[in-house]
Amino acid sequence: MSSMWNGVSPGKAAVMQICGETDHCHVMHIFHSGIPQSLRFLLEDPTLLKVGVGIANDAVKVFKDHNVSIKSLEDLSCLANRKLAGGPQKWGLESLTRKLISKELHKPKEIRLGNWEKFFLSKGQLDYAATDAFASWYLYKVLEGLPDPEVAACQGSETLEGVTSE
């Protein structure tokens, strides 16, 4: 499952996006509705992983704004740093999408920085939010499927005991 939030700081968390499969993502405008009990149970369930870039900060914001303690978080930037060769980087969805699947993730500034607190979100905002959730979920699946660097370094380097070279 992937969860992401957008909002105009310092206002309340405005939108929550959740995607757990390829055929649909949910975009909830929590600024006006709050977080219903069924969603609270899902967010607080420690057996359901929630992923995203900077998701710990999003979880703190949701706790402050809505008193919901989100459990079981995985930051995609941290996961990428564990799985990908090279020094640690501060990854974003755009850079991870480019690196992992050679695609461009368009995040128009006018939508990203737009008013997420207005009563009705535009189609562009809804598409943006759903795309963010899908990209987070998909990139998590890609990263999860990569071998850990320590394991990869050991593959193919088995030693044969009792064999000597002459």
Structural domains in the chain (count): 1
Is residue 65 situated within a structural domain?
yes
CATH number of the domain that residue 87 is part of: 3.30.420.10
Is residue 154 situated within a structural domain?
no
Closest by CA to 81, choosing from 95, 61, 67, 71, is: 95
Is residue 162 situated within a structural domain?
no
Long-range pairs for 32-38 at CB < 8 Å and ≥24 separation?
32/119, 34/66, 35/62, 35/66, 35/68
Amino acid at position 116, single letter: W
pLDDT, tens digit (0-9, with 9 covering 90-100), for 13-65: 999 999 887 778 899 999 989 999 999 999 999 999 999 999 999 999 999 99
Is residue 165 situated within a structural domain?
no
Domain hosting residue 93, numbered range: 2-146
Is residue 49 situated within a structural domain?
yes
Is residue 117 situated within a structural domain?
yes
Give the confidence band of 160 by pLDDT, cuts at 50, 70, 90: very low
pLDDT, tens digit (0-9, with 9 covering 90-100), for 3-22: 444 544 468 899 999 988 77
Is residue 118 situated within a structural domain?
yes
Is residue 159 situated within a structural domain?
no
Closest by CA to 144, choosing from 43, 91, 87, 74, is: 74
Full-model pTM: 0.81
Does 164 have pLDDT greater than 90? no
The DSSP letter of residue 156 is T
